[in-house]
Chain A
Amino acid sequence: MKDPAHPPVDLLADHHEGLVTGAQAVAVAAHLDLCTECRSLVAALDEVTDVLAAEGSHAPPMPASVASSLDQALSRAGAERASGIPSLAGRREASGPPPPAAQRRPVWPLLAAAAAVVVIASTVGVGVLVEGNGGSADSQAGGGEASEEQRTSGEDAGDAVPSPTSTPESPGVGADPPSADTAEPGELAELARELDSGTQQPIRPQDSCATPTERYGDGPVSLVVFDGGPAVAVLDGKTRTVTVLDCDSARTKLFATGY
């Protein structure tokens, strides 16, 4: 059959999904009435759904090795929680509303705010410039315990921390990576992994910390436990550095500020 007026296949597929409206929808429907070829494409689309659904109903069980390492990881997380180090997580509820956007992948809430970290840094006397995270100009404001106001501003800043999750976008393919203006989330995650491994060249803790042993949080700001104790790490995707704040002070000192 020679018919120069076949609708493009994308249009047929979108029509079948109910995405085409108005006159275009009428035209496609009219064409489908007459064209067996295009009807067969539509039928094939349904068959794809059928094949996927049939396969979907047979979930492959988690392999034993995966299950075992997952169990171990959860046990470690449980032990960490029992030891109290990351137990601050629950305080978020008491000190502020949950992140507003359901789409946002939450960042470890208490240290999400770079500005807050800078305040922490000033209280422990380790002056570190936090590049690319903004809001450091007031780092001297809090000489001692963080006040309620500082905590609030810290949380505001936390909302500006780049989210590792992509924003909702057009249904296009191959969306470009985020602009390089700010640290790119994937880059941060890679840095974080390198920090965890403690071996990669680009990692330059600015203090002579020992090898990091554990890390909490997956945002640009993390709590890191070194051999010598907890510290705060700020990952900078632009310069590919990890700035480590407060290598030596005890945990209690870090968190005495009320974060």
Chain B
Amino acid sequence: MNGADSRDDATLLRAHVAGDPEAFSTLVRRHRDRLWAVSLRTTCDPAEAEDALQDALISAFRRAETFRGDAQVTTWLHRIVVNACLDRLRRRRARATGPLPEDEERAAVLADSRGSDTSAEVSERRADVLAALGQINEEQRAALVLVDMEGYSVEEAATILGCAPGTIKSRCSRGRLRLVPLLAQYSGNQSLPEHVQPAATHDRAPSQASPPTQNPTGGLPQ
């Protein structure tokens, strides 16, 4: 379609605001795979990811004039998409349906999001990583998706998620800790200290950088 459009993102967005009927679609086509990946990884649910992404992009379409040009267009799009994802997750939690089901069928759906040219090994890892992400707190997950997976800086992630850089760091730190045992099969170190293990088994994540107690759980390996 407009794959050959050489205008940069900001130019396309301005053209859209000025009434160019194709500009926004061109912009979306340019970034949709990455935005889809973020949406999928943030929600860990393909149906939610699709709805959130669509809501977000329609919203971006309608209020493109609020883009102020002091950030990258992609950052602006990510912010809208990630917030739509988190809104959906919070809404679902508010309806008290509990955490995501962790059944095999869902894992299969997630694995199915792979590209057709993906090897079995890669798609298995993809499913495992998504499943692991699905088990941690959604705000820690959103931070890790942006910083560790998408390669955003802590400051950019803070802008996208609307919080302080220190908060992003803390969420990343705690999220990684919880992922250590969940991703153990992909790490070179198979024999982790035992005092790491308890962190994975329940949702223990103090809200301060310094833990409130000196020895919350399993601080004593033999």
Please list the residues of chain A having a beta carbon within 8 angstroms of any beta carbon in chain B: 1-4, 6-11, 13-14, 16-20, 24, 37-38, 40-41, 43-45, 47-49, 51-53, 55-56, 58-63, 66-67, 69-71, 73-74, 77-78, 81-82, 86, 89-90, 92-93, 98-99, 102-106, 108-109, 164-175, 177, 184-187, 189-190, 216, 218
Chain A residue contacts of B50, Cβ below 8 A? 66, 69
Give the residue name and chain of the B residue nearest to A105 (CB).
B83
Any chain A CB within 8 A of the CB of B33? yes
Chain B residue contacts of A43, Cβ below 8 A? 189
- For window 64-118 of chain B, which residues contact chain A by CB distance below 8 Å? 65-66, 68, 80, 83, 86-87, 90-91, 93-95, 113-115, 118
Most A CB contacts (10 A, CB to CB) among B125, B206, B215, B216 go to: B206
Q: How far is the CA of A87 from the CA of B129 in the complex (A)?
A: 43
Supplied contacts A58-B126, A60-B115, A171-B166, 13 more A-B pairs, CB within 8 Å: A2-B222, A6-B219, A11-B211, A24-B210, A37-B221, A41-B195, A44-B196, A47-B180, A49-B148, A61-B115, A78-B21, A78-B24, A81-B21
Main secondary structure of the interface of B (DSSP, over half): helix
Give me the 4 closest cross-chain CB pairs, A-B, nearest first: A172-B207, A103-B162, A56-B149, A171-B170
Give the residue name and chain of the B residue nearest to A24 (CB).
B210
Q: How far is the CB of A218 from chain B (nearest CB, A)?
A: 6
Give the residue name and chain of the B residue nearest to A6 (CB).
B219
Any chain A CB within 8 A of the CB of B15? no
> In the bound complex, do residue A44 and residue B189 qualify as a contact, i.e. CB atoms below 8 Å apart?
yes
Q: How far is the CA of A162 from the CA of B171 in the complex (A)?
A: 25
Any chain A CB within 8 A of the CB of B10? no
Please list the residues of chain B having a beta carbon within 8 angstroms of any beta carbon in chain A: 17, 21, 24-25, 28, 32-34, 36-37, 40, 46, 50, 53-55, 57-59, 61-63, 65-66, 68, 80, 83, 86-87, 90-91, 93-95, 113-115, 118, 122, 125-126, 129, 137, 139-140, 144-145, 148-151, 159, 162-164, 166-167, 169-174, 176-177, 179-180, 183-184, 186-189, 191-193, 195-196, 199, 203, 205-211, 213-216, 218-222
How many inter-chain contacts with C-beta < 8 Å in the A-B complex? 253
Q: How far is the CA of A151 from the CA of B95 in the complex (A)?
A: 37
Q: How far is the CA of A92 from the CA of B214 in the complex (A)?
A: 53
Q: How far is the CA of A51 from the CA of B125 in the complex (A)?
A: 9
> In the bound complex, do residue B162 and residue A20 qualify as a contact, i.e. CB atoms below 8 Å apart?
no
> In the bound complex, do residue B210 and residue A14 qualify as a contact, i.e. CB atoms below 8 Å apart?
yes
Most B CB contacts (10 A, CB to CB) among A49, A52, A92, A102 go to: A52
A172's partner among B186, B196, B205 (CB-CB below 8 A) is B205
> In the bound complex, do residue B91 and residue A186 qualify as a contact, i.e. CB atoms below 8 Å apart?
yes
Give the residue name and chain of the A residue nearest to B207 (CB).
A172
> In the bound complex, do residue B163 and residue A6 qualify as a contact, i.e. CB atoms below 8 Å apart?
no
Q: How far is the CB of A106 from chain B (nearest CB, A)?
A: 5
Q: How far is the CA of A59 from the CA of B184 in the complex (A)?
A: 22
> In the bound complex, do residue B172 and residue A17 qualify as a contact, i.e. CB atoms below 8 Å apart?
yes
> In the bound complex, do residue A41 and residue B87 qualify as a contact, i.e. CB atoms below 8 Å apart?
no
> In the bound complex, do residue B53 and residue A66 qualify as a contact, i.e. CB atoms below 8 Å apart?
yes
Known: A47-B189, A67-B32, A98-B66. A73 touches B54 (CB 8 A): yes
Most A CB contacts (10 A, CB to CB) among B33, B118, B148 go to: B148
> In the bound complex, do residue B148 and residue A52 qualify as a contact, i.e. CB atoms below 8 Å apart?
yes
Give the residue name and chain of the B residue nearest to A71 (CB).
B25
> In the bound complex, do residue A6 and residue B83 qualify as a contact, i.e. CB atoms below 8 Å apart?
no
> In the bound complex, do residue A92 and residue B65 qualify as a contact, i.e. CB atoms below 8 Å apart?
yes
> In the bound complex, do residue A165 and residue B209 qualify as a contact, i.e. CB atoms below 8 Å apart?
no
Chain B residue contacts of A53, Cβ below 8 A? 148-149, 151
Supply 24 A–B pairs (Cβ within 8 Å), ascending by A. A9-B218, A10-B211, A17-B172, A40-B192, A44-B180, A47-B183, A48-B176, A49-B176, A51-B125, A74-B24, A89-B63, A90-B17, A90-B65, A104-B162, A109-B63, A166-B90, A168-B164, A170-B208, A174-B137, A177-B90, A177-B93, A186-B87, A187-B94, A189-B87
Q: How far is the CB of B143 from chain A (nearest CB, A)?
A: 9
> In the bound complex, do residue A98 and residue B113 qualify as a contact, i.e. CB atoms below 8 Å apart?
no
Q: How far is the CB of A42 from chain B (nearest CB, A)?
A: 10
> In the bound complex, do residue A48 and residue B162 qualify as a contact, i.e. CB atoms below 8 Å apart?
no
Q: How far is the CA of A173 from the CA of B204 in the complex (A)?
A: 8
Chain B residue contacts of A56, Cβ below 8 A? 37, 145, 148-151
> In the bound complex, do residue A11 and residue B210 qualify as a contact, i.e. CB atoms below 8 Å apart?
yes
> In the bound complex, do residue A20 and residue B129 qualify as a contact, i.e. CB atoms below 8 Å apart?
no
> In the bound complex, do residue A108 and residue B189 qualify as a contact, i.e. CB atoms below 8 Å apart?
no
Q: How far is the CA of A37 from the CA of B222 in the complex (A)?
A: 11
